[in-house]
Structure formats: C-alpha cells, structure tokens
Amino acid sequence: MRRRVARNVSFLGVLAVVVTVGAAAPSSSVPPPVPPKSPVAVGYGGAVASVDADATAAGIEVLRNGGNAVDAAVATAAALGVTEPYSAGLGGGGYFVYYNARTHRVETIDGRETAPRTADSSLFLEDGKPLAFADAVTSGLSVGTPGTPATWATALDTWGSKPLSGVLKPAERLARDGFVVDDTFRSQTEGNQARFADFPDTAKLFLPGGQLPVVGSLFKNPDLARTYEKVGREGIDELYRGELADDVVRAVRKPPVAPGASRVVRPGDLTAKDLRSYRALRRSPTKVGYRGLDVYGMAPSSSGGTSVGEALNILASTDLSRASEVQYLHRYIEASRIAFADRGRWVGDPAFEDVPTSGLLSRRFADSRECLIKDDAVLTSPLAPGDPRHPADCADRGTAAPTTYEGENTTHLTAADKWGNVVAYTLTIEQTGGSAITVPGRGYLLNNELTDFSFAPADPAVHDPNLPGPGKRPRSSISPTVVLKHGRPVLALGSPGGATIITTVLQSLIGTVDRGLPLVDAIAAPRASQRNSPTTELEPELWNSPLRSQLESLGHAFKLNPEIGAATGVQRLPDGRWLAAAEKVRRGGGSAMVVKPSGRP
C-alpha cells in the first residue's frame, strides 16, 4: 500500500483545477470543497471512519438525514467505490458485521465472491503447472461473481431504514461531480499503467488521453454515476440478472483487450447462471471471550474470526498489561504464528470443507497450542498445524500449510448511529486495480479474488481446504470485528492488508484492551506481522527500534515492510459519545467524523 496524501486541498487553491475524467468535461469545472480530514472525532449522533474524507462524509450525510448505521455503511462503501476504485467497488466482495442495538446480537453477511460452476482444482493450472501469479491476476480466470451488490441489498433489506436509491445518492453525486486526485490515486494508477493501457475501457477511464491523472485535478466517473443511478432506480437485481449482468459476463468471457496488445489475457468461464444464482449469506459470527469482553468476528469462508479468536485465546493466559514491550511483542508474534499454522490447514469454504470452527475457537485447543510458546526461544516456521478435533498438548508434528498470497488493497469502514447500532465492513477487489478489466460503459473494475485460492496443493499427500471448486468461495483473511461487554458495544474495528489484516486487527485489539492505548493510538502503533513465515514483517518504527535487537536475541528474524494495514474503528465512550478513529499516517491518514462534534445528544 502506498501512502495517501490527505484530500485537504483548499477550495480557493483548486479554482483553476485540471479536469481528469473518463468522459468529456468542461475545463472550467471546479471541485467541491473537500471535507476536513482528521484521524479521530468524538461526539453524538453517530460516527463513521474510513480511509477517505469524501466517503466518510457520505456516511455522515446519511446519518444526519435520519439513516442508521447500516444505511451509512452502504453509503460510505458506495463512495469508496468512487474514490478508492482500485480497492473496492461493485465488482468485488466483502464481509459485513453488524451489532443490532435492539436485540443486542451480532450478525454477519458473507459477501465473498464465488468461482464459476465449471471451476475445479485445475482452475489455475496449465499443462499441469500453476500459472504465474501475475498472469492469473490480469485475466478473466481470476474474476469471481461479485458479492458487494448483494451484500448491500441484504444489509439494507434486513436492517436498513432507507431505500437503496437514497443511500447511493452521495456516491452518485461524487462520481458525477468528481473528487480531487491525490498522490496515492496517481501512484496507484502509475503502478497499474501497463495493465490498464491494455484494456481500452480501463485506459479511457483511468488514463484519459493516455496520461496519468494529475494530482490536484478533478476526477469524474460519469459511467459509474449512471450505473449507481440505474441500480438505485431498478434495484441490485439488475447487476445479477439484467443488462448490467450481461455486461459483466461478456467482459469476463471475452476480456476487452486493446488491438495489438501483447499481453495474453486468458478468458474466464463466468456465466449468467453464476450471477443469477449468487447469494450473500447470513452467517453466525465467531465469538470468544477475552478479558471479560465478547469478541465477535467473521466465520468461514473468512479465516479472520477463527484466527483472531484463536490467537486471543492463546494470549489469554498471559497478563499482557504487565508484560514488558519485548515480552508483549514476543507473545503476540508467536500466537499469530500458531493461528496462521492452523488456519492454513483447516479453514476453507464451509459449503465444501468440514471446517472445525468450534474446535479452532475452543480453550482446550488454545491451551494445547499455547504450551508451544517459550519465553526464551522462537518457534520454527513453517509450523505444523494442530488438530482442533483431537487436541494434543504441544503437538508440533505434521506437514505445514503455507499462507497463500492475498492482495493488500482492500478497504475497511466502521459506522455507528444514535441508536447504538454498529457496523464493521471490509470490502475489496483484491489486488490494487483488481483484474484491470473495467466493465465497458459501467465505470467499475472487476475483481481478481479467485487468486486467493491455492493454485495447487503444497503437499499432494495433505488435503488443502482452499483449492478452487464449482461455486466455491476462496478463503479470506478479512477480519471485521465487534467487541461487546454485557451485550453493549465497546468498540469495532477492521483493516485492509491481505493476510496482514488478521495481525493488524489482533494487534490493535490487544493494544487497546491490554496495553491501555486509546483506540486511535492503538491503530497508529507500529506493527509487526507474523504469518507462519521464517521472518516477521516490521514497520520502520519497530525496525529501527532497540526492541528489534532484543527480539532477535530470542531468535526472531525480521524483514522490513514500509506499511502494514490501514485500520478504522469506532468506540462507545462511558458518557455515551461515539469516538471514531482512523490512521494518523498510513495511507496519508484516514478520516473520522461524528454527526454532532459538540453539545448533547
């Protein structure tokens, strides 16, 4: 992920702005004032936090107009599809976790993309060998049936209070009127320039005139504005059964590649039947108890809830509030290593795999794995999994399952309302820029989520639960999390970052709960990410810290990662106010807002 420069461009400073559009626009166009951007906000009436000020403002607008947290979450997500089109949008999927203040229950939606019904374990094999990852990404093969539209419809129909047309209006307006290009948008476009140039519709939208968008210019997406307007008027079903669905199928089965392009872009086998049969699934959340709190997360097909939950269970036996910084980091790293060893062996789509979710989240299993951790030594990776069905104390034999690569440019939002409802929602199109295939005339990119499957088993003798299959959902690391105490919300959070999502959420949680950090500081704290690898990734502040050498003396090995994750969260304060928190620096800083920053409810 690259750093995001805040969109705090002054109104007067952009009067002479250049217009960058996927269609013609008058050069005299002036960008709207950009909402102020702050990583923390406190107040009443509800709260929203995301990576982007325009998107956060869209959610706040819906709250101010009487909408609830679900309405605001969908509005924010739709706006992120405009301003963060390389990370999210109608062509992707995600996971939605909701706390219902009326019932005091947490409920979830699995909006993960699905493989075509013709897919099997050889989806990414040619001549018996796995495709190069880059070849698989930029292809129709990598595109799963999008789940984001169905997630929005399911959430609004079940818990929302506003019609779809209303909650899409802020995003429709943002796409039509434009947003100010920042350094991140330009740099991410530049990183995809060669790919985008090979698809005429993508190039027309994101490389107008063959040029990169100019920082400070106004970027408009009239095709997406029309798509949102059509979907708002006719319903989400239009994306699964109507002419919009037909456009997706054509783009996947016959990728619209530029004449003369040398890139080999393999077609996919997505059909109209695949889209018609797609369902966003309501699932029971995962749940573990930790320090007197109830921590809820996303169940498989995501590995987020089971992995965060298992790691918390392992850490529960250590008083991290009294541990030194070295002891705290050592225990956190080792718990992460163990959780990833177990998720690689056991977690996949529960419609196809016998996932032992209860076993993975049991204290008995956690105790059998926690005893592997030594205070003066480091576990060797790749670590073999345990067996949650038959826990054996300190068992460390067997074949390790590797962590598959997952694209990092996902996005996360968190929302709360005046009634006490809370949403943690992570959505994605996988890689930065997804498959690079823009649906012609519709203004959005298609995902490459199917590359989250294992291309081939690491060991043919050991079952891999994450191989492709017909209609199967690839395993994810997405970890939207809601924390309750006595049935009332304490905090909610999540992050983008591929497989680092799990460690980012885990570290932010224990930073707040155990280390006593304010939520915004727990989110900002320098991160370490261990995913059952010989080396643990460190952000620069830890890499350059004396803590690194102290941890190395225990046997830890590290590599530098410039930036891990980009979390957001909300917290309910004792006086009834909401605190919204986002990144202080990562991606240039996130955007947190509340409905009423001052006064009383």
pLDDT in tens, 567-589: 999 999 999 999 999 999 998 89
Angle between helix 243-253 and helix 222-234 axes, rounded to 10 deg = 130
**Which of the residues 151, 410, 451, 568 is marked catalytic?**
410
Residue 61 in any domain: the answer is no
Which tens digits make up the pLDDT trace of 267-293? 999 999 999 999 999 999 999 999 999
Percent of the chain with pLDDT over 90: 88
DSSP secondary structure string, 228-265?
HHHHHHH-TTHHHHSHHHHHHHHHHHS--PPTT-----
Q: For residue 158, what are the CA distances in angstroms to 78, 144, 152, 282, 297?
A: 18, 25, 10, 10, 19
- Could you give the 3-state DSSP secondary structure of residue 312? helix
Any bridge partners for residue 580, and if so which?
Answer: 41, 570
Q: What is the DSSP letter of 14?
A: G
pLDDT at 1 over 50: no
With cut-offs at 50, 70 and 90, classify the pLDDT of residue 396: low
Residue 264 in any domain: the answer is yes
CB-based contact 41:60 (threshold 8 Å) = no
**Residue 36: per-residue pLDDT:** 81
**Residue 322: per-residue pLDDT:** 97
Report the pLDDT averaged over residues 401-412: 74
Q: What are the residue ranges of helices labelled H in 320-403? A: 325-346, 357-360, 363-370
In whole angstroms, how large is the CA radius of gyration of the chain?
Answer: 23
Which tens digits make up the pLDDT trace of 16-40? 344 455 543 433 355 566 678 999 9
CB-based contact 487:104 (threshold 8 Å) = yes
pLDDT at 558 over 70: yes
- Could you give the 3-state DSSP secondary structure of residue 319? coil
**Residue 11: per-residue pLDDT:** 29
Report the pLDDT averaged over residues 177-198: 95
For residue 398 the two structure tokens come to 């067997």
Q: What is the dihedral of CA 401, 406, 410, 413, to 10 degrees?
A: 0
**Residue 349: per-residue pLDDT:** 98
**Residue 8: per-residue pLDDT:** 37
- What letters, b where the CB count within 10 A reaches 16 and e where it falls short, cover 523-549? bbbbbbbbbbbeebbbbeebbebebbe
Phi, psi of 323 (to 5 degrees): -70, 150
**Residue 473: per-residue pLDDT:** 98
Residue 352 in any domain: the answer is no
In the chain, DSSP finds a helix count (H) and a strand count (E) of 20, 21
Active site residue 410: yes
Q: What is the dihedral of CA 119, 122, 124, 125, to 10 degrees?
A: -150
- Could you give the 3-state DSSP secondary structure of residue 50? strand
Query: Strand 218-220 to strand 19-21: parallel, antiparallel, or no bridges (unpaired)?
Result: parallel
Which tens digits make up the pLDDT trace of 286-300? 999 999 999 999 999
pLDDT at 5 over 50: no
Helix %, strand %, coil % of the chain (to 5): 35, 20, 50
DSSP secondary structure string, 128-156?
TEEPPHHHHHSSSTTPPBP-HHHHHHHHH
Residue 17 in any domain: the answer is yes
pLDDT at 191 over 80: yes
> What domain count does the chain have?
1
Q: Containing domain of residue 267, as a range?
A: 12-38+105-279+425-452
d(CA 304, CA 211): 39
pLDDT at 484 over 80: yes
CB-based contact 274:116 (threshold 8 Å) = yes
Any bridge partners for residue 596, and if so which?
Answer: 44
- Amino acid identity, position 363: R
- Amino acid identity, position 232: G
Residue 491 in any domain: the answer is no
For residue 114 the two structure tokens come to 């699905």
- What letters, b where the CB count within 10 A reaches 16 and e where it falls short, cover 471-482? bbbbbbbbbbbb
- Could you give the 3-state DSSP secondary structure of residue 101? coil
Residue 113 in any domain: the answer is yes
Q: Give the chain's mean pLDDT.
A: 93
With cut-offs at 50, 70 and 90, classify the pLDDT of residue 362: very high
**Residue 460: per-residue pLDDT:** 83
Residue 556 in any domain: the answer is no
For residue 137 the two structure tokens come to 């990404």
CB-based contact 595:63 (threshold 8 Å) = yes
* 500 Cβ contact list (under 8 Å, min separation 6): 408, 477, 527, 529, 531, 537, 564, 565
Which tens digits make up the pLDDT trace of 372-381? 999 999 999 9
d(CA 418, CA 103): 15
**Residue 97: per-residue pLDDT:** 98
d(CA 82, CA 54): 9
> pTM to 2 decimals?
0.94
With cut-offs at 50, 70 and 90, classify the pLDDT of residue 6: very low
Residue 560 in any domain: the answer is no
**Residue 553: per-residue pLDDT:** 97
